[in-house]
Chain A
Amino acid sequence: MARQKSLTTPTLSPNDLAPRTLILDNGAHTLKAGFSSPLTDPAPATPSACHIIPNCIARSTRDRRTYIGPELTTCADYGDLAYRRPVEKGYIVNWEGEKAIWERSFFSKDAHIDGAGLGCDPAETNLILTEAPNAPASLQRNADEMVFEEFGFGAYYRTLGSSLNAYAPSPFPSTTTTVPAGVPLECLLVIDAGYSHTTITPLHHGRPLQTAIRRLEIGGKTLTNRLKELISRTFDVHREDHIVEEIKEDVCYVSRTFPQDLEKTWKGGRYDGRELDTGVVVDYVLPDYEHIKRGFYRPHDAHVNLRNRALGIGTETGRREHVVTLGNERFTVPELVFTPSDIGMQQAGLCHTVLQSVNALPEGLRQAYLANILVVGGTSLLPGFVERLEAELRSAVDEDTVIRVARAEDPVGNVWSGGARLAADEAAVRGVMVTRQEWAENGEGWVRRRFAGKKGR
């Protein structure tokens, strides 16, 4: 049973941890990675220690280069980039690609690539690796095996990304007591609106209540793809993932008055044409990566002839300008998070998915979780996201129920900061880590049970 064969001379005794820990929140869109250590960093690691690295391999048909992970930041032209992502549906599926990205991100010493070369020696490093909930066991086993056998980390803890949020500082302003690092918040309902999907995870002292975890299959990528589809009705952007993602980040918002916004953006019928509301309708100028490196928007101008502008006629500089007009796309796209039936998806919107999760908890716990809802993940950066969720939840429960929703100050890096604070507490991190020697002695089944929260060494 023991795996002595693959064990090289351990640099650490069984219960010894390496001096520092790499916290790796392995998102489908970006890696959030950086070190934390109880020795050199008495104060919990600062957000500046967190590096955000594209978790993809991109191929440009223009310069015919392949950009792997951090190399993408050196790309000068994001037009017509094709992406390959090792993380599928939130899980690391393609290890060939992930390994190439990790190598450039952590183990490389290429200083000229920004964000790369964290200079990590795995044997001298503990790893905290996040995973999405409800993972197939075979994918968990692959991860464990790669971490120990291929990369050779000294010690390792695989955990739900969501659960690390419990170690981050409380987002609720009324909290006066400062919780020390390594001590998780008591009750937390984490909504992680990520790139792949949106998950709801109730945590009790940082431990997930598994039977209540729910997944809504709308994520940042769903929104980007939907926006791509809608813009392509008038201007073909099917091959412009990067640009459409920027458009989404620049102009999309969650509407609080959906029907009214829809009226404002309707051009009317043939005989009853309407004026478009330029407060909502905007013209987005696409980047050309020559003169315009980043797209931008301005209020819609109905008198501008977009076709002429594309030929360079009538622009201030005489340069060509590609413009797409965005009206109801701005809010009908994010609307999918709250009303998935708008594209025919038979899943409840975010509000009712949260209630499905809460209703799966014992009755006596429900109020505690509804009053401690934390929103994280890049998609939650859409303006109006938290307000809409809170409003929908309030109207769905009886008026005595307390609803409290807060978005983490940094919704993208909150999982990482939680992990960094956990790793800054020596006793806490020791309690969760499995060393390479333990892996070798006890085998993968034992390690998976440990990470599943099963007691007994």
Chain B
Amino acid sequence: MATGPLRFRTPHIEELPTAQSRQSAGFAWVAVSTAQDDPAKNWGTTNRKRARASLGGQTEQQKEALSARAQRETERRIKELNNDNSRDVVIEVAKKPGQSAGGGAFKAGKTTGTKKILASGKTFAHYLDDEEAEIARTGRREGEVEAPGAAQRASKTPLARRKAREGSSASNSPAPSAVVAMGPPRVPRAASTYFAAEPMPVDDLDDDGEDSEDQLPCLPTSAEMEALLNTPPLTYNQARAAPPPASMPPPRRFCETCGYWGRARCMKCGAMTCSVVCKDEHDQSKCLKMYA
């Protein structure tokens, strides 16, 4: 740990335990699959053991710091990509009265309430934080006056979940659901053929128990359906898509210079490149030198 930081002052070559590895100043080659291997299947970098080995020269703490930092950087970039406004500019709505449409158009609100709404500078993040705080405090959403049972159902999960992801931001909070199974939905065979026959099927859904066919045991009764329809909405954070199933291949890596498969990691900043050409360009202009 004491000698750790020194290693990163100068670029170093990393030797990888593979026959295919080549060396060049400042980066390490990761074994590359050929086109025939179908890189889609192995998602660019193939051997996970090898990928781990490429970080072999670092201590656990350094690895952690690196990944935590990279994670923060990724989250910052995603947030930027999801920005609604083009960039940080302040554009005033013209306030001069008598301007083009409707003379009194820019009166700042007709009632105390709308005045307040119109003057509010709150962003979506503010509203979301307010609501989450409200649920944390009261166990339910503002103005939600459900029957106790329903209210409890609405709030139980959020409370439990919030604890689990305290401090974690928008990009990582799996949504809860009645059925958490991630695999393909298990659909009863009989139901599929039944539904395939008609373009707009499921008339029988409302038939409340009359439907005695054993092939369709799972169709909810109309009472169950009504209960389902009356379940309160999830909160904004609960509705977010959960991570992909664990069975999915690991994330693909791309060359940050040209967009092709990323095959070598810059030892200074962690960026991926595909070739010497792209690595050279990276070194000249794009290297962030995060850890240098």
Q: Taking beta carbons and an 8 Å cutoff, which residues of A are in contact with B?
A: 6, 28, 57-59, 66, 68, 81-85, 87-89, 91, 93-97, 99-100, 103-104, 107-110, 116-117, 133-139, 141-142, 145-146, 149-150, 170, 172, 174-177, 179, 185-187, 196, 204, 207-217, 219, 221-222, 225-226, 229-230, 233, 238-239, 241, 258-259, 262-263, 265-270, 327-329, 332, 339, 341-349, 352-353, 355-356, 358-368, 370-372, 396-398, 400-402, 444-445, 448-449, 452-454
Q: A175-B199, A364-B216 are in contact. Are A445 and B143 (CB under 8 A)?
A: yes
A82 to chain B: closest residue by CB = B89
Inter-subunit contact A97/B93 (CB<8 Å)? yes
Inter-subunit contact A215/B241 (CB<8 Å)? yes
Inter-subunit contact A221/B202 (CB<8 Å)? no
Residues of A within 8 A of B131 (CB): 136-138
Question: Most A CB atoms within 10 A — which of B91, B109, B142, B181?
Answer: B91
Binds A, one of B2-10, B32-40, B48-56: B32-40
A29 to chain B: closest residue by CB = B84
Q: A110-B101, A225-B80 are in contact. Are A400 and B192 (CB under 8 A)?
A: yes
Inter-subunit contact A96/B189 (CB<8 Å)? no
Q: A329-B259, A343-B78, A454-B230 are in contact. Are A149 and B241 (CB under 8 A)?
A: no
Nearest Cβ distance between residue B138 and chain A, in whole angstroms?
12
B290 located at the interface, meaning its Cβ lies under 8 Å from any Cβ of chain A in the complex: no
Inter-subunit contact B257/A270 (CB<8 Å)? no
Question: Most B CB atoms within 10 A — which of A100, A104, A136?
Answer: A136
A140 to chain B: closest residue by CB = B143
Inter-subunit contact A343/B241 (CB<8 Å)? no
A150 to chain B: closest residue by CB = B114
B185 to chain A: closest residue by CB = A366
Task: Encode B69-102 as 1/0 by CB contact (under 8 A) with A.
Answer: 0010011011011111111010111100000111
Residues 96-126 of B at the A interface (beta carbon under 8 Å)? 100-102, 105-106, 109-111, 113-114, 117-120, 122-124
B167 located at the interface, meaning its Cβ lies under 8 Å from any Cβ of chain A in the complex: no
Main DSSP-derived SS at the A contact region: mixed
Inter-subunit contact B239/A134 (CB<8 Å)? yes
Residues of B within 8 A of A135 (CB): 236
B25 located at the interface, meaning its Cβ lies under 8 Å from any Cβ of chain A in the complex: no
B289 located at the interface, meaning its Cβ lies under 8 Å from any Cβ of chain A in the complex: no
- Of A68, A229, A364, the residue contacting B217 (CB under 8 A) is A364
- Of B35, B74, B118, B192, the residue contacting A402 (CB under 8 A) is B192
18 residue pairs bridging A and B, Cβ less than 8 Å apart: A57-B91, A66-B92, A93-B127, A108-B102, A137-B142, A150-B114, A176-B199, A187-B200, A204-B229, A209-B231, A211-B231, A262-B259, A341-B251, A352-B241, A401-B185, A445-B143, A449-B145, A453-B229
How far, in whole Å, are A360 and B242 apart by their CA atoms in the complex?
12
How far, in whole Å, are A171 and B286 apart by their CA atoms in the complex?
48
Main DSSP-derived SS at the B contact region: loop
Inter-subunit contact A96/B82 (CB<8 Å)? no
Q: A104-B101, A145-B117, A346-B172 are in contact. Are A263 and B275 (CB under 8 A)?
A: no
Binds A, one of B11-19, B57-65, B218-226: B218-226
How far, in whole Å, are A88 and B144 apart by their CA atoms in the complex?
24
B156 located at the interface, meaning its Cβ lies under 8 Å from any Cβ of chain A in the complex: no
Inter-subunit contact B84/A85 (CB<8 Å)? yes
B276 located at the interface, meaning its Cβ lies under 8 Å from any Cβ of chain A in the complex: yes
How far, in whole Å, are A333 and B235 apart by their CA atoms in the complex?
29
- Of A208, A213, A352, A400, the residue contacting B245 (CB under 8 A) is A352
How far, in whole Å, are A91 and B127 apart by their CA atoms in the complex?
11
Inter-subunit contact A362/B218 (CB<8 Å)? yes
Residues of B within 8 A of A176 (CB): 199
B196 located at the interface, meaning its Cβ lies under 8 Å from any Cβ of chain A in the complex: yes
Given A327-B258, A359-B182, A400-B192, 8 more pairs with CB closer than 8 A:
A93-B123, A145-B117, A265-B260, A346-B243, A348-B242, A365-B219, A368-B202, A444-B143
Question: Most B CB atoms within 10 A — which of A258, A270, A356?
Answer: A356
B141 located at the interface, meaning its Cβ lies under 8 Å from any Cβ of chain A in the complex: yes
Inter-subunit contact B219/A343 (CB<8 Å)? no
Residues of B within 8 A of A66 (CB): 91-94
How far, in whole Å, are A344 and B120 apart by their CA atoms in the complex?
34
How far, in whole Å, are A364 and B213 apart by their CA atoms in the complex?
13
B263 to chain A: closest residue by CB = A269
Inter-subunit contact A59/B143 (CB<8 Å)? no
Q: Taking beta carbons and an 8 Å cutoff, which residues of B are in contact with A?
A: 35, 38-40, 71, 74-75, 77-78, 80-87, 89, 91-94, 100-102, 105-106, 109-111, 113-114, 117-120, 122-124, 127-128, 130-131, 141-145, 170-172, 175, 177-182, 184-189, 191-192, 195-196, 199-203, 205, 216-220, 224-225, 228-236, 238-245, 248, 251-252, 254, 257-261, 274-277, 286
How far, in whole Å, are A177 and B198 apart by their CA atoms in the complex?
11
Inter-subunit contact A146/B117 (CB<8 Å)? yes
For the complex of A and B, list the 5 residue pairs with the smallest distance between their C-beta atoms, beginning with the closest.
Answer: A364-B218, A108-B101, A360-B177, A344-B74, A364-B219
How far, in whole Å, are A349 and B248 apart by their CA atoms in the complex?
11
- Of A175, A229, A328, A342, the residue contacting B251 (CB under 8 A) is A342
Nearest Cβ distance between residue B98 and chain A, in whole angstroms?
13
How far, in whole Å, are A398 and B183 apart by their CA atoms in the complex?
10
Inter-subunit contact B105/A142 (CB<8 Å)? no
Nearest Cβ distance between residue A174 and chain B, in whole angstroms?
5
Residues of A within 8 A of B106 (CB): 100
Inter-subunit contact A233/B257 (CB<8 Å)? yes
Nearest Cβ distance between residue A370 and chain B, in whole angstroms?
7
Residues of B within 8 A of A139 (CB): 127
Inter-subunit contact A397/B185 (CB<8 Å)? yes
Inter-subunit contact B228/A209 (CB<8 Å)? yes
Inter-subunit contact A149/B78 (CB<8 Å)? no
- Of B81, B84, B230, B274, the residue contacting A28 (CB under 8 A) is B84
Question: Most B CB atoms within 10 A — which of A177, A267, A360?
Answer: A360
